[in-house]
């Protein structure tokens, strides 16, 4: 008898074979031309538009929407890419409901914002089917090392290449893209879009990527500084916060980011083992991505448990509702106290949290959730690439410290951006903005204006 | 329920909504469908003289412009008068009028500008039992190149002459349909009055090119790579039509000649506006061509509801009701001072009022922290642009200032009473106030 959602244990193929393609299809299918025209018509072309202010990359949203509505999505795409070279990915993964679309005046007027994200995708999809639109400036003879081929590094590298600098990117993983490739739910960026976007971006030329090169292990920051005119650090957050409770080392307990990465790197989700009862601990985007995908892989029950109230979750209301619509149960105000099981995880015991001064601690009310798989999504932190005092990088256990333009202090030629820095909200779009701005700062510095 | 029955120059219909002479009234099939849908009457698509019918183009006849969400705002056409044999039309008109005696059936006619041609066709039409005739002096394309349609309507002497022939050779009410493609429509209307016409109807379509195909460089509608001007109609022409209707309604020389209002009527509200500005009944085409005959239901229910709310019991009570308020600019009250006011509760903070005022007007709106937009009374000339660009109805309004208060823009006290340009000290031709 074939396995089903009810089958105990962590197994693959719980669902009928044809269910997977449907489950992992595009969350927001692309608008067709007519739909785009209708959606674009709703934009009021606001003065000093709130959506622009809300966009970390400052895309001129009313302008690009007007360009769509007048039948020039290619021009619209240039308006987007000029500010955000990863505008294609951001159109798919940005939590627009907490950024541009939340600020849209039609959200105030009718509770229904202009569909900015989907319009951005319409424009960027149109142009990304064409040859790369940017060309390089005359070579400057300067070279820059970029550490990390995630959104920050790629945005920085592209802008530097465009300005005529030679760029070498050092990436620890075998593929470029960072979280776009490894860390975001499949249904947000299906059909290999992350890799297609990288290829499209690199076709500007002038950028060399060296994969499987981890700075700090395979090559030192000091070497990079010596060999290049400037260095940009965009390494993201490589470590996950530990779940420091009894039984958390039992087999079946793992990091949600690893689970998501495995899913993203798989060609066939039907081959991926998933528990019958999955418990996800955490309240951010990663937790939602892991929980929803657990359900989509066929888990019978998926429960997300977050320690504080729902409003304080990093996952937006849209994300929480997406989870609930997909059958994920969300429990708030509870903390895990113990993972139990004989040889592997069988259950997680939780306590409803009580306030103790400023801190949360487990209270007396307890409950136990059966679990054959537990996914930790309780935050990530930076893995330092150097602890050499000579590098004089200001950092703490969680992130790098940067000044304006991503400048690390006090060094003039080492810059940083993206999730590894203490600024921003750990979003793709924020990382792109910081990578781009750092590139401009590097350019100004190298060309003598800075 | 308000009484919507209409008696327009003796032609009775259960409501004032007629379908204008156009493709929807070209044959019995359409007209019967229209009557079933509740239209009060039709003006049958224009008949030409006996003989081989006209020939239409075999490509597109219509061009268009669209607003948001591809809402049809304006359309033009290069279709000619009916291309069906005269006797077929006459036979169908007779049958339809017999089957639908309570509905108005008026026949549009266009024959060469010769007495014999008119004398020949009028008895044929009269024999059908039709309620009246409408003289097509308006079509601006095709037929006008042959000396008919607007080529007649543009010469007041011809208008008068043909109208007189029709009164002479027919007992039917004569409605003269006017072209807007002139400098002053009152001259054509006065000519119709002089010729003895019972009524005028307006506007016919406006000379237009709706668009050009930027790949082929052909105007639209394109016939094998070339285009000619067409006649423009639909919601976009309504303001032009309203002005012309009102101009005739208040012209003394037109002596209150009944007006059948035409031009972009799409809703009951449009219809009511035509009525109060001077129309006695209404003709509709583009709205029906856009949405089908069913639109008349909304026009009737809306007009009826509004009349009930206002206490009007008949169409005649509504007709011409705003005519006394149409005046010349020089008679507008310069003591009337207003200021724009933004309702902060309704404001959605789009800032369009600010951009419009700051960039193109009087810098009279402040953009305060938190995107709070406020009118600066000391700069506001009450131009209304902010009202017009605001996406939220009634969010910005113009509020009159009370007499005795001081206008912070001019520093002058708002005077009570009425004073206009004719007596204004800045007017070199000012006359002493009485």
pLDDT classification of A2: cutoffs 50, 70, 90: confident
- What are the pLDDT digits (tens) for B149-206? 889 999 999 999 999 999 999 999 999 999 999 999 999 999 999 999 999 999 999 9
Q: How far apart are CA B333 and CA B415, in angstroms?
A: 11
At residue A53, the pLDDT reads 97
At residue B31, the pLDDT reads 98
In the predicted model, what is the mean pLDDT of chain A? 94
Residue A360 and residue A264 share a domain: yes
Domains of chain B, by residue range, sit at: 6-325, 329-423
* Mean pLDDT on A7-15: 94
In a domain, A9, yes or no: no
Residue A406 and residue A354 share a domain: no
- For residue B69, CA distances in Å to A68, A71, B73 come to 13, 13, 11
- What are the pLDDT digits (tens) for B240-293? 999 999 999 999 999 999 999 999 999 999 999 999 999 999 999 999 999 999
Contact A47 B349 (CB under 8 A): no
In a domain, A19, yes or no: no
The residue segments making up the domain with residue A87 are: 33-128
Please give the ipTM for the structure prediction: 0.85
At residue B1, the pLDDT reads 75
Q: How far apart are CA A321 and CA B75, in angstroms?
A: 46
* Mean pLDDT on B386-410: 97
At residue B432, the pLDDT reads 67
For residue A415, the Cα-to-chain-centroid distance in whole angstroms is 21
Q: How far apart are CA B67 and CA B73, in angstroms?
A: 6
Which comes out higher in pLDDT, residue B18 or A360? B18
Smallest Cβ–Cβ distance between A47 and the set B348, B352, B392 belongs to B352
Residue of A nearest to B370 (CA): A50
Contact A47 B348 (CB under 8 A): no
**Number of domains comprising chain A:** 3
Last residue of a domain, one of A353, A376, A399: A376
At residue A390, the pLDDT reads 83
User: Does the pLDDT at position B142 exceed 90?
Assistant: no
| Chain B residues 326-355 within an 8 A CB cutoff of chain A | 348-352, 354-355
At residue A450, the pLDDT reads 47
Tokens of B212: 């050009």
Q: CATH code at A203?
A: 3.50.50.60
- What are the pLDDT digits (tens) for A99-145? 999 999 999 999 999 999 999 999 999 999 999 999 999 999 999 99
Kindly report which listed range (A163-167, A359-363, B106-110) carries the lowest average pLDDT score: A359-363
Contact A47 B355 (CB under 8 A): yes
Last residue of a domain, one of A105, A128, A151: A128
In a domain, A39, yes or no: yes
Contact of B363 with chain A, judged by CB distance below 8 Å, is answered with no
Q: Which of A38, A44, A47, A65 to mutate to test the interface with B (most CBs of B within 10 A)?
A: A47
Task: Tell me which H or E stretch contains A337.
Answer: strand A334-340
At residue A391, the pLDDT reads 84
Buried b (16+ CB within 10 A) or exposed e, B337-357: bbbbbbeeeebbbbbbbbbbb
User: Does the pLDDT at position A412 exceed 90?
Assistant: no
Q: How far apart are CA A96 and CA B150, in angstroms?
A: 56
Residue A188 and residue A151 share a domain: yes
In a domain, A135, yes or no: no
The answer to whether B157 and B221 are in contact (CB under 8 A) is no
Contact of B68 with chain A, judged by CB distance below 8 Å, is answered with yes
Residue A344 and residue A259 share a domain: yes
Residue A166 and residue A90 share a domain: no
Residue A337 and residue A286 share a domain: yes
Contact of B366 with chain A, judged by CB distance below 8 Å, is answered with no
Cβ-based contacts of A42 with chain B (< 8 Å): 68
Contact of B70 with chain A, judged by CB distance below 8 Å, is answered with yes
In a domain, A298, yes or no: yes
- For residue B104, CA distances in Å to A85, A170, B108, B173, B255 come to 66, 84, 13, 12, 25
- Asked if B347 is an active-site residue, the reply is no
Number of Cβ atoms within 10 Å of the Cβ of B198: 22
Contact B351 A49 (CB under 8 A): yes
CATH fit for domain B6-325, picks 3.20.20.70, 3.30.365.10, 3.30.390.50, 3.40.50.720: 3.20.20.70
In a domain, A10, yes or no: no
Q: At what angle do helices A73-83 and A61-69 cross, to 10 degrees?
A: 160
Q: How far apart are CA B382 and CA B370, in angstroms?
A: 25
In a domain, A26, yes or no: no
Work out the percent of chain B whose per-residue pLDDT is above 90: 94
Cβ-based contacts of B354 with chain A (< 8 Å): 47
3-state secondary structure of B367: strand
Which is nearest to A371 in space by CA: A287, A277, A243?
A277
Tokens of A64: 């690009």
- What are the pLDDT digits (tens) for B48-104? 999 999 999 999 999 999 988 889 999 999 999 999 999 999 999 999 999 999 999
Q: CATH code at A65?
A: 1.10.1060.10
Residue A354 and residue A316 share a domain: yes
Residue A272 and residue A319 share a domain: yes
Tokens of A233: 């650090």
In a domain, A62, yes or no: yes
Q: How far apart are CA B44 and CA B121, in angstroms?
A: 15
Indicate the pairing of strand B72-77 with strand B62-66: antiparallel
CATH fit for domain B329-423, picks 3.40.50.300, 2.60.40.10, 3.20.20.80, 3.30.70.20: 3.30.70.20
Residue A232 and residue A319 share a domain: no
Kindly report which listed range (A129-143, A191-205, A436-450) carries the lowest average pLDDT score: A436-450
């Amino acid at each position: 008898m074939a396995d089903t959602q009810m089958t105990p244990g962590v197994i693959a193929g719980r669902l009928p074979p044809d269910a997977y393609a449907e489950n992992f299809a595009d969350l927001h299918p692309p608008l067709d031309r007519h739909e785009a025209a209708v959606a674009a018509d709703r934009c009021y072309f606001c003065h000093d538009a709130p959506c622009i202010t809300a966009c970390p990359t400052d895309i001129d949203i009313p302008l690009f929407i007007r360009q769509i509505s007048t039948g020039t999505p290619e021009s619209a795409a240039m308006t987007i890419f000029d500010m955000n070279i990863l505008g294609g990915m951001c159109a798919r993964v940005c939590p627009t409901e907490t950024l541009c679309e939340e600020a849209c005046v039609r959200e105030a007027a009718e509770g229904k914002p202009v569909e900015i994200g989907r319009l951005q995708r319409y424009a960027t999809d149109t142009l990304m089917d064409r040859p790369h639109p940017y060309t390089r400036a005359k070579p400057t003879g300067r070279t820059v090392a970029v550490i990390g081929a995630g959104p920050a590094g790629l945005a920085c590298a592209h802008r530097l290449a465009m300005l005529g600098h030679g760029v070498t990117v050092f990436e620890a993983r075998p593929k470029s893209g960072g979280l776009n490739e490894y860390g975001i739910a499949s249904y947000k960026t299906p059909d290999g879009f992350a890799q297609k976007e990288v290829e499209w971006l690199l076709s500007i030329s002038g950028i060399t990527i060296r994969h499987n090169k981890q700075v700090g292990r395979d090559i030192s920051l000091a070497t990079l500084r010596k060999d290049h005119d400037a260095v940009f650090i965009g390494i993201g957050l490589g470590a996950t916060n530990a779940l420091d409770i009894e039984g958390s080392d039992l087999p079946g307990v793992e990091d949600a980011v690893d689970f998501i990465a495995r899913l993203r790197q798989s060609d066939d989700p039907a081959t991926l083992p998933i528990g019958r009862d999955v418990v996800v601990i955490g309240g951010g985007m990663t937790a939602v991505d892991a929980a929803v995908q657990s359900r989509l892989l066929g888990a019978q029950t998926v429960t997300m448990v977050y320690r504080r109230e729902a409003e304080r979750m990093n996952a937006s209301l849209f994300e929480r509702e997406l989870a609930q619509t997909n059958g994920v149960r969300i429990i708030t105000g509870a903390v895990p106290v113990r993972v139990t099981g004989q040889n592997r995880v069988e259950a997680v015991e939780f306590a409803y949290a009580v306030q103790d001064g400023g801190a949360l601690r487990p209270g007396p009310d307890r409950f136990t959730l059966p679990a054959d798989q537990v996914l930790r999504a309780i935050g990530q932190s930076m893995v330092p690439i150097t602890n050499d005092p000579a590098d004089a990088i200001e950092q703490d256990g969680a992130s790098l410290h940067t000044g304006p333009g991503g400048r690390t202090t006090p060094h003039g030629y080492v810059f940083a951006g993206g999730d590894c820095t203490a600024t921003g909200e750990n979003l793709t779009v924020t990382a792109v903005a910081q990578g781009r701005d750092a590139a401009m700062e590097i350019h100004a510095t190298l060309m003598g204006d800075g | 329920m308000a009484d919507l029955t209409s008696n327009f120059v003796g032609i009775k219909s259960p409501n004032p909504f007629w379908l204008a002479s156009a493709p929807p009234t070209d044959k019995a099939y359409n007209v019967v469908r229209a009557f079933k849908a509740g239209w009060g009457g039709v003006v049958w698509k224009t008949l030409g003289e006996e003989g081989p019918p006209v020939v239409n183009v075999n490509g597109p006849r219509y061009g268009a412009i669209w607003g948001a969400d591809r809402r049809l705002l304006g359309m033009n056409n290069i279709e000619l008068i009916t291309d069906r044999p005269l006797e077929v039309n006459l036979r169908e008109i007779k049958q339809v009028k017999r089957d639908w005696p309570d509905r108005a059936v008026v026949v549009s006619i266009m024959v060469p500008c010769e007495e014999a041609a008119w004398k020949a066709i009028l008895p044929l039409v009269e024999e059908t039992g039709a309620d009246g005739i409408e003289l097509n002096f308006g079509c601006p394309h095709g037929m006008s190149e042959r000396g008919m349609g607007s080529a007649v309507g543009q010469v007041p002497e011809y208008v008068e002459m043909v109208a007189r022939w029709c009164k002479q050779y027919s007992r039917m009410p004569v409605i003269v349909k006017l072209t807007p493609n002139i400098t002053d429509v009152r001259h054509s209307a006065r000519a119709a009055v002089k010729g003895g016409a019972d009524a005028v109807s307006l506007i016919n379509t406006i000379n237009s090119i709706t668009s050009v195909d930027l790949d082929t460089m052909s105007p639209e509608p394109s016939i094998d790579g070339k285009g000619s001007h067409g006649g423009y109609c639909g919601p976009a022409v309504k303001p032009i039509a309203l002005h012309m209707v009102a101009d005739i309604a208040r012209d003394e020389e037109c002596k209150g000649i009944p007006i059948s209002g035409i031009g972009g009527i799409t809703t009951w509200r449009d219809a009511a506006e035509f009525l109060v500005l001077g129309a006695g009944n209404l003709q509709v085409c583009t709205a029906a061509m856009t949405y089908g005959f069913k639109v008349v239901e909304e026009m009737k229910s809306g007009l009826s509801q509004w009349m009930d709310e206002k206490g009007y019991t008949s169409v005649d009570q509504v007709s011409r009701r705003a005519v006394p308020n149409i005046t010349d600019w020089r008679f507008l009250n310069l003591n009337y001072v207003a200021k724009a006011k933004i309702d902060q509760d309704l404001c959605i903070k789009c800032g369009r009022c600010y951009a419009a005022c700051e960039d193109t007007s009087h810098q009279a709106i402040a953009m305060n922290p938190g995107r709070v937009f406020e009118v600066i009374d000391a700069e506001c000339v009450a131009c209304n642009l902010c009202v017009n660009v605001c996406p939220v109805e009634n969010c910005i309004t113009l509020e009159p200032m009370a007499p005795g208060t001081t206008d912070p823009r001019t520093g002058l006290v708002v005077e009570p009473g009425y004073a206009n340009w004719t007596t204004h000290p800045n007017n070199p031709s000012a006359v002493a106030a009485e």
